[in-house]
Structure 1
């Protein structure tokens, strides 16, 4: 099943494509369109049907109604007489293009994977000079899916929380269209509460042979309330093993990750380990179960100590009063990340994938970005 769209002013369009003009406001009967038209404009440069015209979707979101599942999205971007600069996020605010540039007269086709769970495929545009000439969306059952189970350090952001970011939001950016990230992580959850809420069951229902389940908890397993607390020497590894067993039950591949560190330093500038026994529990379980381990705690420790207390404020959710619209009174958060931090931690995860030579994931990395 494939959807094709040709963007630009009303008039001629490529056969087999739906024409999308500035008037294409989304409604559920049409099944596609821009959420708002306030910053959408159109332009025609030449008579070429796909490359000769385009939409300028400045801070605009385009939606297409599609069945839940995985998709390969192909985007044509360019301008006959001007340079372009396009940033693009998909479902879950997953970053797929970051200031993607073309020069005048260049037309580039980019592909990426998208996981849809709410019946809508969303493309949110940004950048200094965004363009979209044409779009193709194709349903796919052949992609490798990385399922993420975790907490707020992994999760996708909720609307109105920019620049909050979990590293799972940014992982898609490093992969070609052959890989899709399905981020089921959610803030405030522990290994226990995630399972008790049925979230692991939903992942298991979707996972297929050859997929991956990345598992990173620990922050909330330390919380002393009954709904979330697990003991690092007993119940924490017991619950983690249930994730391993769920993946193996469908011949998917489990990957354990130690908890990313919080931003706390001692007087010597060394990072303070706030997870302690929870980290060792993950390492020991990975060895016992012969499960791939990405030691994100160690990788983040090295990064945070290299950057130091001042440098890490550019990664964590820190802001002065008025710096971020959604945190206008200022914020000092030493646990959660802003988007630059999410992108940096996702890169550490990718380095772990490379070190482990997790196939076929390593084959599908964008070499220029890692």
Structure 2
């Protein structure tokens, strides 16, 4: 295995020039020019997940420099230059990510080690791998050197909007901060268990636009789970927007997981949000039966299934000026718990954990954790919080499930709280008003996929009432 280790030093003394990734260059940084020259870099699931909004595609925002500490960009200066060109500041503080990409020889699990130097005081440095999977967050003093190690998975995935699997034969690292310098990267194949995630949009990977802010993007809790693990396992997220227990199988996502499963791997299954919108996928018919089938097939591979209840929405009803929480997912959550007891499968009750916190904070205070105008889908702050629920639930399993101890023991101590800060979505500046979206739409795909959820709690409640009425049930 040691002979397969890829070691990259990015200091000026060892690199004649700043490397940029391309088909002929097996490792390097990714900027706007690379995105424009290589269309495959714009499939977010196969890359870092960071990209500029379409109106900035021709703007040379990412300006990477090099010195004895490695390669870096001065995010504050780059963002300030952009705002000056636009003639308007889009607060609060936002960041340009330093994105690095390296080819790997085959699908599988890898241990990544990196070293960076904080060229400025970093109050909240973020390190992502893969498609914006958060591996580390914390503060670093100016001049300090940070060395960290984390484990990643590279394997085929069916991207959003595609019908076939794409090979994922690269690893991505993105560092978000004021002015961090990436100095050293090593990538080594390893043999460790993998946690596969099967679920819907609340668990899924999302891209993010930059200049980046954690509140101005979508984030699924599967993207933040690594933050709570010690590197003894990897996470492979196959969750997708809009999927139910039925469509996740019919579109090939579960088959792709099955092809990769090895004895001792884990599969976390979380559905319900989209099942409940269909008469034949209610809590008393198709939903638990589809979960039962997933569990049987996972066990047939000598892998270990885990159920997760659907995470609660921030949905309330108002009557006579009084707000009352509206638990639209109660039945599906209870069906999931009952099936876990019946089949002796551990259940992560994310529904109860999220609902308790939403009720504690209240409707309006909870909004900071959700995408702007959305009642269901979290931003990056909410994703980290929800992944914390999953970590807490895993810890609580204790010795009740001895076969799962290899996973339970990898769950590290709770991450430091991440204080949320509000931010609006990026807006197109007047100087670029004539720039058209090359995809022919002014709305991002995720926003369109999530429109039913953004119409508000009352509209969603009416939809579900109509479904249950067709089934002869009542809400």
TM range, smaller chain: 0.7 to 0.9
Q: Name the residue aligned to 1:356.
A: 397
Q: Name the residue aligned to 2:415.
A: 369
Q: State the TM-score, normalized to the length of structure 2.
A: 0.67
Which structure features the higher share of strand residues? Answer: 1
Pair 1:61–1:83, CA change in 2 (3 A): same
Question: Contact 2:397 / 2:408 at 8 angstroms: preserved in 1?
Answer: no
Query: What's the CA shift string for 1:61-92, capped at 9, x where partnerless?
Result: 1110112221110011236x865564221112
Picking from 8, 17, 21, the partner of 1:5 is 8
Q: Name the residue aligned to 1:25.
A: 20
Pair 1:170–1:22, CA change in 2 (3 A): farther
Question: Contact 1:39 / 1:60 at 8 angstroms: preserved in 2?
Answer: no
Question: Contact 1:65 / 1:120 at 8 angstroms: preserved in 2?
Answer: yes
Question: Contact 1:7 / 1:54 at 8 angstroms: preserved in 2?
Answer: yes
* Unmatched segments (≥5 aa) in structure 1: 14-18, 45-52, 319-331
* Unmatched segments (≥5 aa) in structure 2: 33-61, 76-96, 156-167, 211-215, 399-403, 417-475
Q: Alignment partner of 2:23: what SS?
A: coil
Aligned pairs (5 A) from 1:1-370: 1-9=4-12, 11=13, 13=14, 19=15, 23-36=18-31, 38-44=62-68, 53-57=69-73, 58=75, 59-66=97-104, 67-78=106-117, 83=121, 86-104=125-143, 106-117=144-155, 118-141=168-191, 143-158=192-207, 160=209, 163-224=217-278, 229-267=280-318, 268-318=322-372, 332-357=373-398, 358-367=404-413, 369=415
Which structure features the higher share of helix residues? Answer: 2
Question: Contact 1:214 / 1:254 at 8 angstroms: preserved in 2?
Answer: yes
Query: What's the CA shift string for 1:197-246, capped at 9, x where partnerless?
Result: 12111111111111111010001102238xxx513212111100121112
Q: State the TM-score, normalized to the length of structure 1.
A: 0.85
Pick which of 342-351 and 55-64 moved more. Answer: 55-64
Q: Alignment partner of 2:405: what SS?
A: coil
Q: Alignment partner of 1:128: what SS?
A: coil
Pair 1:82–1:191, CA change in 2 (3 A): closer
Question: Contact 1:155 / 1:183 at 8 angstroms: preserved in 2?
Answer: yes
Query: What's the CA shift string for 1:148-194, capped at 9, x where partnerless?
Result: 00000000004559510111011111112212110000000000110
Shift of 1:22: 5.0
Larger RCO, structures 1/2 (Cα 8 Å, 6+ apart):
2
Q: Alignment partner of 1:133: what SS?
A: strand
Equivalenced residues, count: 335
Q: Alignment partner of 1:341: what SS?
A: helix
Q: What RMSD over aligned residues (CA atoms) do the two structures have, in Å?
A: 2.1
Q: Alignment partner of 1:219: what SS?
A: coil
Pair 1:337–1:362, CA change in 2 (3 A): same
Pair 1:103–1:158, CA change in 2 (3 A): closer
Alpha-carbon distance between aligned partners in 2 of 1:343 and 1:277, rounded to the nearest angstrom: 26
Q: Alignment partner of 2:178: what SS?
A: strand
Alpha-carbon distance between aligned partners in 1 of 2:378 and 2:121, rounded to the nearest angstrom: 32
